[in-house]
């Protein structure tokens, strides 16, 4: 199962309070130490463990271009095999 997790921390609170919602995705991406991850990070993990194909993940992503870039970076690092 893929999901996005956002935990409330001071940066998230400030982003909401100051109506800087456009910053939330970046705050979630870097918030791993708080247990946060984006949908695309979750989709990439599911691709890596074979739960979903790259094509299916791209079809379900709200930002397919970003996910495609993440997949390519992972392939370049040798993280994914040649599936999909």
Mean pLDDT value across the chain: 92
Contacts of 19 (CB under 8 A, 6+ apart): none
Say what the pLDDT of residue 80 is.
72
Say what the pLDDT of residue 84 is.
43
Given pLDDT bands bounded at 50, 70 and 90, which one contains residue 23? very high
% of the chain beyond a pLDDT of 90: 87
pTM: 0.82
User: Residues 27, 13: contact at Cβ < 8 Å?
Assistant: no
Mean pLDDT of 25-52: 95
Could you tell me which of 43, 52, 44, 54 has the C-alpha nearest to residue 82? Answer: 54
Say what the pLDDT of residue 78 is.
82
| 38: pLDDT strictly greater than 70 | yes
| 48: pLDDT strictly greater than 50 | yes
């Amino acid at each position: 199962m893929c999901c996005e997790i956002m935990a409330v921390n001071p940066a998230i609170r400030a982003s909401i309070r100051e109506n800087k919602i456009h910053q939330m995705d970046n705050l979630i991406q870097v918030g791993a130490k708080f247990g946060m991850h984006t949908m695309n990070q979750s989709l990439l993990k599911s691709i890596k463990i074979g739960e979903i194909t790259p094509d299916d993940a791209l079809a379900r992503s709200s930002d397919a271009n970003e996910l495609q870039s993440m997949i390519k970076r992972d392939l370049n690092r040798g993280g994914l095999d040649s599936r999909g």
